[in-house]
Structure 1
Amino acid sequence: MEVVDTALADVKVLRPRRFGDDRGWFAEMFNREAFAKLGIDREFVQDNQSFSRKGVLRGLHYQLGKPQGKLLRVLSGHIWDVAVDLRPDSPEFGKYMGVHLKREDPMDAVEMVWIPEGFAHGFVVLSETAEVLYKTTDLYYPQGERCVLWNDPALGIPWPLDLLDGEPLVSAKDAVGVLLRDADLPGGK
C-alpha cells in the first residue's frame, strides 16, 4: 500500500497495490493488520455508498458525540473530495485539503482517502455520475449530525465549480449549514 501525504498531516491518500494480467486485476482494499501498521488502527463498523449526478455537492458533514473516521473511495466517476480539520486543539484547525478521485475506467488507479475523526467531509461530482463508497469508524448518529457551510468564506475552499455546467446542487440541509465560526466543534467550541 502506497501512502501519499496531503495538505493535512492526518489525512492520507492510499493506493493499494494491484496485481494484474490479461484477465484483469486484483487488489486488497482493506486489511486490518496492514492498516494498523500504517497508523490507521481503527475498527470500521458501517459501509455507506452514494450515487450522485454531476454537480451534486455533499457536505461539509461531521458528527459530534460519535465522530466518524472515513475510508473513502470512488467506485465510478470523478469527484473532488475535501476534508476540513475541525479539531480545536489542532495546529491545522480550519484548514482543508482537496483531492481529485477518479474511476472513469476500470483500469484507472485505485485511490482511497483516510479522513480521521474530527474532520468535516464533503465532495462535488465532476463527471456525469459518481458512486462513492466509504467505511466509517462509528455508526450514523442523527443527534450529532452537523454541517459546516461548503462555501464558508473563512475556509476559502477553491471548489472546482468551473468544471460544472452551472451552480452546484446542494441538499436543503446542507444549504443551511453553519459558518465555521458558529459551528459546534468536536471537544467543545
Structure 2
Amino acid sequence: MLRLRTAFPALCLTVLLAACQPDSQNDFIAAASLPQPVTAIRTERAATITPETRYGSRALKNALPGYELEGVQIAVEDRTLWTLAAFHNGEQMLQILKGDDGAVSAVHGVSQRVAGPNGEQIGMTFVESGLRRSECRVGRNLWRGMAVCQARNAQNVKLVFSVPGYEGPFDQIPEPAQLRTATLQRIVWTPEN
C-alpha cells in the first residue's frame, strides 16, 4: 500500500503537467513562479485609478476600496519623493504620485501581484516579457543602468528592468546577454488625457 501512496502523487503530477503544456519553456517558468495577480495596470487605468482620479487620501481611498494608504519615500529617475502607497493585505502594491494640478500624475506597480497590460509581472525576466532591446532606453540618474521599456500596445505604460550585477557602461542599455536576465522592478502608468 505504501508504494501506491508514493506513486499516486507522481502520477497525478505527470497528468497535471501534461494537461498544462506551455507554449514555451519560458512561459511555464513565468506561470509557475509568479503569484496570481490581484490587480492590473492597463492603458486606461491603474487598478481602479483613472485619469480623473484626484490625488489625496479621501479620493484614493474611494478609488481603491480594500486598500490601506500610507506615506512612503520612493526613488523616481531624477529624485526621491514622498508619496502615497496602496497596500493590499499588508503588501505594498502601488505607489501613487501627485501631479501639479492635484490629479494623479503616475502610478507605479511594485508588487508581483500587479499585472501589466500584457500580463507582465514584477519579478519576470526581460526574456519572459517578450520585449526587444530596441523598445527600451537606458535609465538615468537614480535609475541608471536600468532598462526603461515601452509596454507593447500601451503608450502610457513603461516597464523598468534592473540588471543583476550590472557594472556599466551606464550611458547605454546593457548588452543583449546581460539584458536577458534583467528583472522587472516596476510598471509605471501615466494617465492619458
Q: Greater share of strand residues, 1 or 2?
A: 1
Give me the TM-score of the superposition, normalised by structure 2. 0.31
Highest relative contact order (Cα 8 Å, sep 6+), 1 or 2? 1
Which structure is larger by alpha-carbon Rg, 1 or 2? 2
TM-score where L is the length of structure 1 = 0.31
Structure (1/2) with the larger helix percentage: 2
